[in-house]
Each structure stands twice: as structure tokens, then as C-alpha cells.
Chains A and B, each alone.
Chain A
């Protein structure tokens, strides 16, 4: 994953959070809101990292691990494939 290695990337291993489904990736709950997470945001396993939409249904993507967001790999409102890396989390 290019882009996952920011400053200090060598310090702790990163975990890739992948999309479980194909769909449209949303970084914010709605256009007027701040993104769920930014690079550097601390996350817990149940922290919502993103939303995605498929067949007019919305699904939350939990971070699934504890750490900080190392990289966001997909632009807001972009289509993704099932299994595509959405963001990476550096373990703490």
C-alpha cells in the first residue's frame, strides 16, 4: 500500500482495513459533516471509519483494531471493490 508509510511508519506495524463489499465509499456521515477519521485520528475497534453504500443501503465500516489512522486510501464518494483497502491503522 503506497501512502501507508508516513513519517514514523517503521515504528509499528499497520493493519489494512478492507471494504467487505463493493460500493461507494463515504468518509463523512453527510456532506456538511467532518470526516469520521483523519490521518492521525485515534481509533478503537468499534470506531466508525467510513460509510459505504450499496443498493441504496448504507453500512458502517468499523476500524476493527486499536491504533491511529496511518492513511486513507480512497477518496470520498469513490467506488471501491470488495476487499479493497480503505485505510490503514498503525497499532499502538
Chain B
């Protein structure tokens, strides 16, 4: 027995750890944008780390369970309700057959993760159950959920309800964030003033923020004058189409930088000036429209240190929920 989708929410998709290895043909890694929270949800219900969860963006779905299950909600502060009664986030709880899981309004963050014991058992495509909607690939029929969908659930070994992520290991979602970036790629195309503006501006996330990319507003970056190379467009922010790193920050026309996330377009003709370090991609995913961000420049060494610290935090999570 599976889960019936009564209301789909705004953009709810099946995701897992992703689909690496196909970016060379334009298929991005996909997977939960906030991998830390997604892992926490799976561990809480006793799932394998690569089990599929639901990623709920800005608004939760309404789900009726066909059979009893253990459920956990992590990530954004999107308070879960069972039969209309509050249930704790970052803790596993029991859901009975026929019960309805819904959500209160978003309090902070942007994306909540719902794990069910057994995992959402949609077919794996290229080794992953993650939804890549632009390519109609993976997940449930390659798309976001709609009302009336039936989600199959895998066989649950499952953990008993009542497990909890220690307070220190729960993510919090401030309205302002500092996101660490490594300058590079085509940053030499910026003037000194353009670089300064990029680092000093307070960037506000616009409503154009989805799994492909997050578009910010706040200042205009100045580019160096140049003669357009053959094959690049005429605008100073154009380049001959190049690969786009996951996390890279492109600035079409010098306005509204876009941070690409795990459903990235794999390449294109806009100047990229920096890339978010891997350790901070979960935080980028939890910025909501109207939240603000400063991009803080770091070098490779601190970038790798941050990556190791994040790995240690994931390890602490595994130990706490072992």
C-alpha cells in the first residue's frame, strides 16, 4: 500500500542522493538540494542513505497513507500536521493507515524533506530515483507531484518512531546568510569595481528560485570592455558556450546573479564569476525568496576544510541516529 497525494503542494518532487556521471550529455546530478536534511530524514526512519524522499518547496503536500509507516520531516521549518495535529520536525513519528499528513505554513527555510520507512519506491533511472523535470526523467513520471498521484512505498525494515536528531545537529534557517564562494572561471572579465560590488552587495533572492537556479537581485556588476570573440555574443557578459559547474554563479547582463543548483543547465554562454563551495550548497537550497545573502570569497584550502567539516557533521548525524 502506498501514499495517495491529496494536494501536491507547490513543487513537490521525489529525490535521493542524485544521478552523477551524465552531466557530459546535459543530465545534471539532481537529488535533494539540501542533502544534509535529506540524509537526516532517511536516517530517522531507518532507511538506507540512498532511499528516495519527498522534497517540498515553500509549501507542503497533503498525503494519505494506505498503510502504517514511520515518517520524519526535516529541512525547512514547515510544521508537519497529522490529522491536523502538530507533530515534531527532526523526529520520527508513527502514521496509521488512512491518516493524513499535511503541513502548516512555511516559517523559515525553503525546502522540507519527508522520509517514509521503506522509501518512495519509484523506478530508478540511470541509478537514481531523483526527478529531473526538465528532461522528464526519474521520480514519478519525470515530474512534480499532482493531486491523485499514488506513490509506492518500499518494504520497510524501518526504525521505530520516536528517534530524534540532537538539537545541535538540526539545521536552522536565518533570513540572512553568508555563502562562501571561490572566485574564478571568468571573473577576470569583471572590472575591479565589479568584483568589489559582487563581494560587498547584499543580494536578495527573487521569486525566480527553483531547482535549476536561484536568481538574486541587489546590484549591477561592471564588466571590462572587450572585442567580442568569434562565437561569443556581443554583450560583455557573453562567452563562447562553456560548461557550468554545479554551484557556479553566472551574471547575465551584469545584473541578477544566478547560482546553479543540482538541476543545473549544464552549459551556456554567460560569464560565470564564482562558484559556491560544496559545503554551502545545502544552505543555498534553504534560502527563500526575500531572504538575503552575502557572497564571501574563500580560497581552495578553506573551501576543502569546510568540506571536511561538513563531512564530519554528516558522520555525527550517522552516529547520533545509528
A binds B: yes
Q: Which residues of A contact B (CB under 8 A)?
A: 18, 20-24, 53-57, 79-83
**Given known contacts A20-B59, A54-B58, A79 and B208 CB-to-CB distance under 8 angstroms:** no
Q: Which residues of A contact B175 (CB under 8 A)?
A: 81
Contact with A along B102-117 (1 / 0, CB 8 A): 0001110010000000
A55 touches B59 (CB 8 A): no
A56 CA to B11 CA in the complex, in Å? 12
Contacts of B110 in A (CB 8 A): 22
The distance in angstroms between the C-alpha atoms of A56 and B208, with both chains bound, is: 7
Nearest CB of chain A from residue B277's CB, rounded to whole Å: 25
Complex contact A81–B58 (CB within 8 A): no
Q: Which 3 interchain pairs have the tightest Cβ spacing?
A: A82-B106, A79-B290, A22-B289
* Cα distance A18–B290 in the bound complex, in angstroms: 16
Beyond the given pairs A22-B58, A80-B290, 16 more chain A to chain B contacts, judged by CB atoms under 8 angstroms and listed by A's residue number, are A21-B10, A21-B106, A22-B110, A22-B207, A23-B207, A24-B289, A54-B10, A54-B289, A55-B209, A56-B207, A79-B204, A79-B207, A82-B105, A82-B106, A82-B288, A83-B105
- CB of B210 closer than 8 Å to a CB of A: yes
A-B contact pairs, 18 of them (CB 8 A): A20-B105, A21-B58, A21-B105, A22-B58, A22-B110, A22-B290, A24-B289, A54-B289, A55-B207, A55-B208, A55-B210, A56-B207, A57-B10, A79-B204, A82-B105, A82-B107, A83-B105, A83-B107
Known: A20-B59, A54-B10. A81 touches B207 (CB 8 A): no
Q: A54 — which chain B residues lie within 8 A by C-beta?
A: 10, 58, 207, 289
How many Å from the CB of B196 to the closest CB on chain A? 26
Whole-angstrom CA separation of A20 from B105 in the bound complex: 6
Nearest-CB distance from B103 to chain A (Å)?
A: 11
Closest to A24 in B: B207
Residues in B neighbouring A24, C-beta threshold 8 A: 207, 289
| Contact bitstring B128-159, A, C-beta under 8 A = 1, else 0 | 00000000000000000000000000000000
